[in-house]
Amino acid sequence: NSISELVFTCLTSLLTQMTVDDEIIFFCDGNDYVDKLKMICNKYHVNYKLLTFDYKSASKIHYESTIYINSNETHDQIYICEDDYLHFDGSLYKIKEFLKKYPNYFCQ
């Protein structure tokens, strides 16, 4: 019915595939969907962080995510997903398996 519904349907598919070892970080440009994000993350018992900004600019949000990742160096796998990516059931498992098999590759 709407792009918002499509994004949340795909996000729900992704969240249901997450394990207790996974964490998702949301970089939100504004507070429009914060309550809905909290609700669905809590519903599926997902480890999550919400970082909110008020830029109304995709490039500034990309900058914030880059700064965050660089300042929180980790040896864990990081998968960056914008809200225009679609996920299907089983996709997160396939992404994880790809990264385990090819740890030096970038998967998009």
More confident residue, 38 or 83: 38
CB 37 within 8 A of CB 28: yes
How far is the C-alpha of 64 from the C-alpha of 30, rounded, in Å? 13
The whole-number average pLDDT for the span 10-23 is 88
> pLDDT digits over 22-68, tens only?
888 888 888 888 999 999 999 999 999 888 888 888 777 777 777 77
Average pLDDT over all residues of the chain:
79
pLDDT of residue 42: 96
How far, in whole angstroms, is CA 82 from its chain's centroid?
7
CB 44 within 8 A of CB 18: yes
CB 48 within 8 A of CB 26: yes
pLDDT of residue 58: 75
Residue 101 Cα distances to 53, 98, 104, 107, 108, angstroms: 36, 5, 9, 11, 15
pLDDT of residue 83: 57
